Amino acid sequence: MATVDIHKQADVHHHDDHDHEHGHGNFWTNYIFSQDHKVIAKQFLITGMFWALIGGTMSVLFRLQLGFPDADLGWLRPFLGEWITPQGKIDTEFYLALVTMHGTIMVFFVLTAGLSGTFSNFLIPLQVGARDMASGFMNMLSYWFFFLSGVIMFISIFLSTGPASGGWTVYPPLSALPQAMSGSGLGMTLWLVAMALFIVSSLLGGINYITTVINLRTKGMSFSRLPLTIWAFFFTAIIGLLSFPVLFAAALLLIFDRSFGTSFYLSDIYINGEALPNEGGSPILFQHLFWFLGHPEVYIVILPSLGITSEIIATNSRKPIFGYKAMVGSLLFITILSFVVWAHHMFVTGMNPFLGSIFTLLTLIIAVPSAVKIFNYVTTLWKGNIIFTSAMLFSIGLVSFFLSGGITGIFLGNSAVDIQLHDTYFVVAHFHLVMGAASFFGMLAGVYHWFPKMFGRMMDERLGKIHFWFSFVGVYLVFFPMHYIGIAGFPRRYYSWTNFETFNSFADLNMLVSVAAILTLSAQFIFIFNFFYSMFRGKQAPANPWKANSLEWTTPRNPGHGNWPGEIPTVYRWPYDYSKPGAKDDYIPQTVPYSETPESNLPHENDLIKLEMEDNNAIVVDKKH
Amino acid sequence: MSLIIGLGVVLVLFILYMIFRIGNLVGLVKGKNEEEHAGNDLHGYLFMAFVVLGLAFFGWYSYAHFDSYTLPVASEHGELTDSLFWITMGITIVAFGVISIVMFWFTYRYRYNANRKATFYPDSHKLEIVWTVIPAIVLALLIFRGLRVWNDITSPASEEAEVVELIGQQFAWTARYPGVKDQQLGEINYKLIDAVNEFGLDLTDKNTFDDFKSLELHLPKGKEILLKIRAKDVLHSVFLPHFRVKMDAVPGMYTNFKFVATKSTEDMRAETGNPDFNYEMACTEICGKGHFSMRFLVVVHEPEDFEKWKAAQEPWLKQNPEYLAKVPSALREVAMIKSGIPIESTAGASATTQTVSISN
């Protein structure tokens, strides 16, 4: 009953109407250094969108080089200065800087902070029935560490030696030796500092998410009644908490190697006419440490999107999500397995081949829970009554990407097949579909779905649908042709392939990819317009526009700090009672007790009515104290 | 000029915005009369059209352009990995096609209809078990086949394998052969590397004397080849696309890859009908600004031609006779014999006391 007590105390402060809520603080405490999880979520979202634009623009820049290798890019000189050579080409080292920053920004700043930061923050308290995060202050710190990390990364883009350029995986010795490439100088230092701050932010956020889910669930919100979004955020936070510190260690050792003359990753190096004194280190050690985070990281990126999608697909199919327990079980299984598959990124790095066998086995096992999730999504659609809201379209798009990107993982996870495909465009196609585009679509779906609760207004659905079709077709046109290019052996991170007879083809496909990339990026401006326009001029949203069951839709149109003006509602059922036989509406919110729905209760649910009564007594007893 | 373009863009954006506003106002006026979820059907149709057209295009391109995206295979293990690749492809395409069609069919078939209610169908243990077990079995088959091939590929090379050392550096490859006299690669030490001694040959080891350098990778057909790979500065990766070979080059350690080439360069020219065909080697681990330019020409000979080619190469020491000074005096004569340096000529060439004492 401890939770009830906490809520009662909190109630005292939150009895007033939400409209007066903002009167409590000034501009700074309400919008900048706010401790309200909803405001922090919006801060993460808007920062994430800013980074997504930068990351997306960078990808278009290097796609210009790849799709139109003969074009004169001199017109970019006003923006890029010396990075455009006198011949009007992108500088080869700057090309690598673009590739590196695109990866870093998209993986960490957009799809980790922008996604988890937004939706874990926004939805966990609202969906478990809490006034706020366990620690609002730590939550605020989490954002500001992320912000600071972003500032440092942003500054690094403008260095004359360029930002980090050794690939987003920053493998040493390339990243450790400034003499190997100019981006490994100050740019790399700032990258490491920014990532260290990012990890701090991630840990502060993750601890909060886990604590809130475990401790601050409202009365009746047992784990088996949690929406799948919360399960996904919960597992994501656990993965982050266990794996990010390993990246921190890897980065720290790299800092030592770079600045203090240690030899963790360096050995037997002769560069620029000089034999370095470092001996006994191993570059492969870094790869193990990096991928010990790096692989769980792809699940940190995709799981929240899968959670969001589960919620949206169930709501808009007007059906319960199929196989709730299997969905939770597969999330759990993926979480556990995500820690023991990292070395499939390293089959041909010189790692002991026996390890390759083990990691092949473990990697392909992870396809099973992933497949179960897809089957369950498809079965949820079956005999549904599907409403194509923008959020629903993006969720269906996600499932499609997760499928087409996921099955190519079966090739890459098999070490023997990976020999040929490793570091080719096949890999680029694979991970962009399965974790890039899929999680990005999950994020967009989430924005469309929860925008009404975030800003009290509706986004324009027509623009949302146009945005979807351009993005959906665009993403496929960008990444599907890359499979062919990859099967043909084209290596990734190549500035041009014309040095090789073997790779001197596919100019047509590369041009198609680049054009599609430009179109896809352009389509995102429809979204940005829609987002900011609707924030101020959108139709006023009803409290529950999608007729959804979960708790956040029981809050007022503009929930204030504290979320519910009165008491926090009690939960009596799971969040997926859609189209229940016998019920008059096609949805029954979680707050409706079984005792009020005798017409639709299943036999075992009638037995729960008695328990509900007992629970109510418990509250009465509690209030006497 | 750019001002006009800029103004044009602004104008187009403004027009789009006006269309959007007018559409909104019209929607407000008409709004009350519209039925719920109007226009919902459209997306069902579009999804159906997408999956049909998409799969048709996928099938057509894959079939019509098969030769342009598949590289002919020229190694023994490459046949195995290719067959595993195509088996996986067959299985996944069936799964991909069926699931895609079913999913988009559902979105079309079960699109919103005001007169229908969705079926409450929260779970089915039977279904869950079926689609957990079936993928598990299929994956198990792929795993076992994959591991057999992987174990073959990564098993130790035989004693008779033709050893070649490949060295990656920014931004070029070099190859070192063990030499025809001792068939052994000599010792190296990275601290001995200088502008001429680019391998870092340790000339106190007599196996270095007949080692020779090559700026092309020459290989015999039909004989096991063992690549011993290292890097001088940063990570690189050896990629021989036609042989399905890839292995990183790591500073501070050797990595290995063994394989058997099954087609000589001439065979391949005949097979592809391209008289200019050449095998190539590329770098596939990001290594700096010249990463994309690390091309290394590969030539596969008939075994007898390969032996002839090897015999015709000059040992590194013969090309750089001044390094005789680094050879311990006791070994100097061996060095001259093994590397093929004529004994008289060096006596004249470098008049150090040591060389004189040898010729005495």
In total, the C-beta contacts within 8 angstroms joining chain A to chain B are: 331
Q: Is the peptide bond before A69 cis (omega within 30 degrees of 0)?
A: no
pLDDT band at A9 (very low <50, low <70, confident <90, very high): very low
By DSSP bridging, strand B172-177 and strand B224-231 are unpaired
- CA distance to partner chain A, nearest, from residue B235 (Å): 7
The pLDDT tens digits of the residues spanning B226-260 come to 999 999 999 999 999 999 999 999 999 999 999 99
Strand partners, B75: B261
pLDDT value at position B69? 94
Give whole-number Cα distances, A376 to A65, A335, A359, B125, B220, in Å.
41, 18, 27, 12, 53
Q: Does B200 touch chain A (CB under 8 A)?
A: yes
Number of folded domains in chain B?
2
pLDDT value at position B31? 62
pLDDT band at A276 (very low <50, low <70, confident <90, very high): very high
Nearest of A174, A170, A190 to residue A182 by alpha carbon: A174
Q: Does B146 touch chain A (CB under 8 A)?
A: yes
**What is the distance between the alpha carbons of residues A43 and A31, in angstroms, rounded to a whole number?**
9
Q: Measured between beta carbons, which residues in chain A are less than 8 angstroms from residue B107?
A: 381, 386, 388, 396
Please indicate whether, in this complex, the C-beta atoms of B292 and A496 are within 8 angstroms of each other.
yes
- CA distance to partner chain B, nearest, from residue A272 (Å): 9
Instruction: Report yes or no on B225 lying in a domain.
Output: yes
Please indicate whether, in this complex, the C-beta atoms of A353 and B88 are within 8 angstroms of each other.
no
Q: Measured between beta carbons, which residues in chain B are less than 8 angstroms from residue A275?
A: 190-191, 193
Tokens for B234, please give them. Answer: 């940063």
Q: Does B96 touch chain A (CB under 8 A)?
A: yes
Q: Does B11 touch chain A (CB under 8 A)?
A: no
Calculate Rg over the CA atoms of chain B. Answer: 33
- Which residue type is seen at B196? V
Contacts of A596 (CB under 8 A, 6+ apart): none
- Span A163-170, average pLDDT: 95
**What is the distance between the alpha carbons of residues A212 and A204, in angstroms, rounded to a whole number?**
12
The pLDDT tens digits of the residues spanning A221-240 come to 999 999 999 999 999 999 99
The pLDDT tens digits of the residues spanning A406-432 come to 999 999 999 999 999 999 999 999 999
- A625 three-class SS: coil
Instruction: Report yes or no on B65 lying in a domain.
Output: yes
Picking from B138, B155, B172, the residue at the C-terminal end of a domain is B155
- Span A278-284, average pLDDT: 94
Clarify whether residues B245 and B293 are in a common domain. yes
| Candidate from A24-33, A253-262, A615-624 with smallest mean pLDDT | A615-624
Clarify whether residues B214 and B253 are in a common domain. yes
**What is the distance between the alpha carbons of residues A5 and B94, in angstroms, rounded to a whole number?**
56
Nearest of A217, A238, A226 to residue A303 by alpha carbon: A238
B33 pLDDT exceeds 60? no
Q: Does B135 touch chain A (CB under 8 A)?
A: yes
Clarify whether residues B234 and B185 are in a common domain. yes
Clarify whether residues B305 and B327 are in a common domain. yes
- Span A369-375, average pLDDT: 95
Q: Measured between beta carbons, which residues in chain B are less than 8 angstroms from residue A497?
A: 292
Please indicate whether, in this complex, the C-beta atoms of B118 and A365 are within 8 angstroms of each other.
no
> Which pairs with CB-CB distance under 8 Å and at least 24 residues apart come from B47-50?
B47/A396, B47/B104, B47/B107, B47/B108, B48/B104, B48/B105, B48/B107, B48/B108, B50/A472, B50/A473, B50/B104
Q: Measured between beta carbons, which residues in chain B are less than 8 angstroms from residue A381?
A: 103, 106-107, 110
Clarify whether residues B249 and B148 are in a common domain. no
Alpha helices in B110-193 (DSSP H): 125-154
Of B81, B135, B255, the CB nearest to A416: B81
pLDDT value at position A49? 97
Please indicate whether, in this complex, the C-beta atoms of B65 and A500 are within 8 angstroms of each other.
no
**What is the distance between the alpha carbons of residues B100 and A136, in angstroms, rounded to a whole number?**
43
Report whether A112 contacts A301 (CB < 8 A). yes
Q: Does B105 touch chain A (CB under 8 A)?
A: no
Clarify whether residues B318 and B190 are in a common domain. yes
A2 pLDDT exceeds 50? no
Q: Measured between beta carbons, which residues in chain A are less than 8 angstroms from residue B154?
A: 353, 356
Q: Measured between beta carbons, which residues in chain B are less than 8 angstroms from residue A363?
A: none
**What is the distance between the alpha carbons of residues A11 and A17, in angstroms, rounded to a whole number?**
12
A309 or A29, which is more confident? A309
Of B92, B150, B282, the CB nearest to A407: B92
Please indicate whether, in this complex, the C-beta atoms of A396 and B232 are within 8 angstroms of each other.
no
Q: Does B52 touch chain A (CB under 8 A)?
A: no
Picking from A285, A346, A415 by the largest number of B CB atoms within 10 A of its own CB, the best residue to mutate is A415
- CA distance to partner chain A, nearest, from residue B150 (Å): 5
Q: What percent of chain B has pLDDT over 90?
A: 76
Please indicate whether, in this complex, the C-beta atoms of B246 and A365 are within 8 angstroms of each other.
no
Q: Helix (H) and strand (E) counts for chain B?
A: 11, 10
A8 pLDDT exceeds 80? no
pLDDT band at A615 (very low <50, low <70, confident <90, very high): low
Q: Is the peptide bond before B171 cis (omega within 30 degrees of 0)?
A: yes
Report whether A562 contacts B102 (CB < 8 A). no
Of A270, A325, A383, the CB nearest to B121: A383
Q: Measured between beta carbons, which residues in chain A are less than 8 angstroms from residue B146?
A: 360, 414-417
The pLDDT tens digits of the residues spanning A94-148 come to 999 999 999 999 999 999 999 999 999 999 999 999 999 999 999 999 999 999 9
The pLDDT tens digits of the residues spanning A536-551 come to 999 999 999 999 999 9
Report the Cα A306 to chain-centroid distance in Å.
Answer: 10
Report whether B280 contacts B84 (CB < 8 A). no
A197 pLDDT exceeds 90? yes
- Span B193-218, average pLDDT: 93
The pLDDT tens digits of the residues spanning A547-604 come to 999 999 999 998 988 999 989 999 999 999 999 998 888 999 999 999 999 888 988 8
B308 pLDDT exceeds 80? yes
Clarify whether residues B247 and B148 are in a common domain. no
- CA distance to partner chain A, nearest, from residue B87 (Å): 10
Please indicate whether, in this complex, the C-beta atoms of B121 and A580 are within 8 angstroms of each other.
no
Of B118, B149, B246, the CB nearest to A319: B118
* Domain segments of chain A as ranges: 2-537
- Average pLDDT along chain B: 90
Clarify whether residues B106 and B201 are in a common domain. no
- DSSP-assigned letters across all residues of A372-403: HHHHHHHHHHTT--B---HHHHHHHHHHHHHH
Clarify whether residues B333 and B234 are in a common domain. yes
- Average pLDDT along chain A: 91
- Span A287-316, average pLDDT: 96
- Span A259-283, average pLDDT: 94
Give whole-number Cα distances, A254 to A149, A595, B350, in Å.
18, 61, 47
Please indicate whether, in this complex, the C-beta atoms of B251 and A368 are within 8 angstroms of each other.
no
Picking from A382, A478, A497, A529 by the largest number of B CB atoms within 10 A of its own CB, the best residue to mutate is A382
Q: Does B292 touch chain A (CB under 8 A)?
A: yes
Please indicate whether, in this complex, the C-beta atoms of A324 and B122 are within 8 angstroms of each other.
yes
Instruction: Report yes or no on B7 lying in a domain.
Output: no
Q: What percent of chain B has pLDDT over 70?
A: 93
Instruction: Report yes or no on B197 lying in a domain.
Output: yes
- CA distance to partner chain A, nearest, from residue B165 (Å): 15
Please indicate whether, in this complex, the C-beta atoms of A506 and B68 are within 8 angstroms of each other.
yes
Q: Does B25 touch chain A (CB under 8 A)?
A: no
Can you say whether the dihedral through the CA atoms of A329, A333, A336, A339 is positive or negative? Answer: negative
Please indicate whether, in this complex, the C-beta atoms of A586 and B289 are within 8 angstroms of each other.
no
**What is the distance between the alpha carbons of residues A59 and A296, in angstroms, rounded to a whole number?**
24
Clarify whether residues B247 and B294 are in a common domain. yes
Strand partners, A425: none
Q: Does B50 touch chain A (CB under 8 A)?
A: yes
Instruction: Report yes or no on B192 lying in a domain.
Output: yes
Residue B317, domain CATH = 2.60.40.420
- CA distance to partner chain A, nearest, from residue B182 (Å): 26
pLDDT value at position B19? 84
Nearest of A301, A308, A297 to residue A124 by alpha carbon: A308
**What is the distance between the alpha carbons of residues B92 and B102, in angstroms, rounded to a whole number?**
15
- Span A379-389, average pLDDT: 95
Of B61, B143, B150, the CB nearest to A356: B150
Q: Measured between beta carbons, which residues in chain B are less than 8 angstroms from residue A505?
A: 68
pLDDT value at position B212? 95
Report whether A144 contacts A235 (CB < 8 A). no
| Candidate from A76-90, B53-67, B259-273 with smallest mean pLDDT | A76-90
Instruction: Pick the residue from chain B with its C-alpha nearest to A586.
Output: B117
Please indicate whether, in this complex, the C-beta atoms of A410 and B88 are within 8 angstroms of each other.
yes
- The torsion defined by the Cα of A494, A498, A503 and A506, in degrees rounded to 10, comes to 90
Nearest of A406, A412, A436 to residue A424 by alpha carbon: A412
Could you tell me which CATH class the domain A2-537 is placed in? mainly alpha
- Which residue type is seen at A217? R
Of A273, A415, A489, the CB nearest to B71: A489
Please indicate whether, in this complex, the C-beta atoms of A267 and B85 are within 8 angstroms of each other.
no
Q: Which helix (H) or strand (E) holds A591?
A: none
- CA distance to partner chain B, nearest, from residue A503 (Å): 10
Instruction: Report yes or no on B23 lying in a domain.
Output: no
Q: Does B58 touch chain A (CB under 8 A)?
A: yes
**What is the distance between the alpha carbons of residues A133 and A205, in angstroms, rounded to a whole number?**
10
**What is the distance between the alpha carbons of residues A551 and A126, in angstroms, rounded to a whole number?**
6
Clarify whether residues B131 and B65 are in a common domain. yes
pLDDT value at position B1? 67
Please indicate whether, in this complex, the C-beta atoms of B285 and A357 are within 8 angstroms of each other.
no
Interface pTM, i.e. ipTM:
0.91
Q: Does B150 touch chain A (CB under 8 A)?
A: yes
Please indicate whether, in this complex, the C-beta atoms of B241 and A420 are within 8 angstroms of each other.
yes
- Span A287-298, average pLDDT: 95
- Span B179-190, average pLDDT: 91
Clarify whether residues B199 and B151 are in a common domain. no
Please indicate whether, in this complex, the C-beta atoms of B292 and A423 are within 8 angstroms of each other.
no
List the domain range (segments joined by +) for residue B267.
162-341
pLDDT value at position A29? 80
Please indicate whether, in this complex, the C-beta atoms of B292 and A494 are within 8 angstroms of each other.
yes
